[in-house]
Amino acid sequence: MDSATPAAAGGFEPRITAFVCNWCTYTGADLAGTSRLQMASNVRIIRLPCTGRIDPMFMIKAFERGADGVIVSGCHPADCHYNAGNYHARRRFAIFRELIQFLGIDTGRITFSWVSASEGAKWRDIVNDTVTRVRGLGPFTAYRKLVVDPATVPAAKVTSKEVPA
């Protein structure tokens, strides 16, 4: 990895993975760019068609792969490009939220929000707030201890069904 490790940089800089929908939040983040709104550079966006597409396992996988925080954001209720995907996402996360603590993850590491295509400034605020909050929580290391050194296990063909959670 090329990014400076927290230790090397002196201070802790959290790594945030964002799962956003294509139509509202991704476009809102585009608008933040077009409007040149400056924000923290810790967030990496993964574009999905809709928040309805987001499997909660994606978030666990992100933490397992070293993310210190996760953002999930899509269209406001009633504004979903696909009519109802965000409602399914909302229900899914209402239940998932209960499980997060059980999985050893501080709920403060996860931000759920709605950002529309015209809310570039709101996206900036969510990015900055999340980075500040997760910076305060410190690095997420609980899952790193569980990661098996790949050198010790034979390489297997990874398919979507076999990817470990």
Partner 1 sequence: MARIGVFVCHCGENIGRTVDCAKVAELCGQVPGVVHSVDYKYMCSDPGQQMVKAAIAEKGLTGVVVAACSPHMHEKTFRRATAGGGLNPFLCEMANVREHCSWIHEDRDAATVKAVDITKTIVEKVKRNVPLSTIRIPVTRRALVIGGGIAGIQAALDIADGGREVILVEKDPSIGGHMSQLSETFPTLDCSQCILTPRMVEVYQHPRIKLYSYSEVESVEGYIGNFKVKIRRKARSIDEDKCNGCGACTKTCPNKKIPSEFDCGLGKRTAIYVPFPQAVPNLPTIDRAKCLLFMNRAKGRPDTCKKCAEACSKEAIDFDQVDRFVTEDVGAIVVATGYQLYTIGKDQAKPNIKGYGEYGYGTIPDVIDGLQFERLASASGPTSGKIQRPSDGKEPKRIVFLQCIGSRDPQKGMDYCSKICCMYVAKHTMLYHHKVHDGQATVFYMDIRAAGKGYDEFSRRAIEEEGARYIRGRVSKMWRDGDVIKIQGFDTLAGEPIEMDADMVVLATAMRPQPGIDSLAQKLSVSYDQHGFINEAHPKLRPVETNTAGVYVAGACQAPRDIPDAVAMASATASKVLGLFANEMLEREPTVARVDESSCAGCFHCERVCAYGAVEHKEIKDRAGNVLRVIAYVNPGVCQGCGTCQATCPSKSVELAGFTDEQIWSEIQALGV
Residues in contact with partner 1 by the rule CB under 8 A: 1-5, 15, 17, 23-24, 26-27, 29-30, 32-34, 36-39, 41, 44-50, 52-55, 58, 61-62, 65-67, 75, 78-85, 88-89, 92, 116-119, 124, 144, 158-161, 163
In the complex with partner 1, the residue whose CB is nearer, 57 or 104, is 57
Minimum separation from the CB atom of position 70 to partner 1 (A): 10
Residue placing its CB nearer to partner 1 in the complex, 152 or 159: 159
CB of 37 to partner 1, least distance (A): 6
Q: How far is the CB of 55 from partner 1 (least distance, A)?
A: 5
SS (H, E, C) the chain: CCCCCHHHHCCCCCCEEEEEECCCHHHHHHHHHHCCCCCCCCEEEEEECCHHHCCHHHHHHHHHCCCCEEEEEECCCCCCCCCCHHHHHHHHHHHHHHHHHHCCCCHHHEEEEECCCCCHHHHHHHHHHHHHHHHHHCCCCCCHHHCCCHHHCCCCCCCCCCCCC
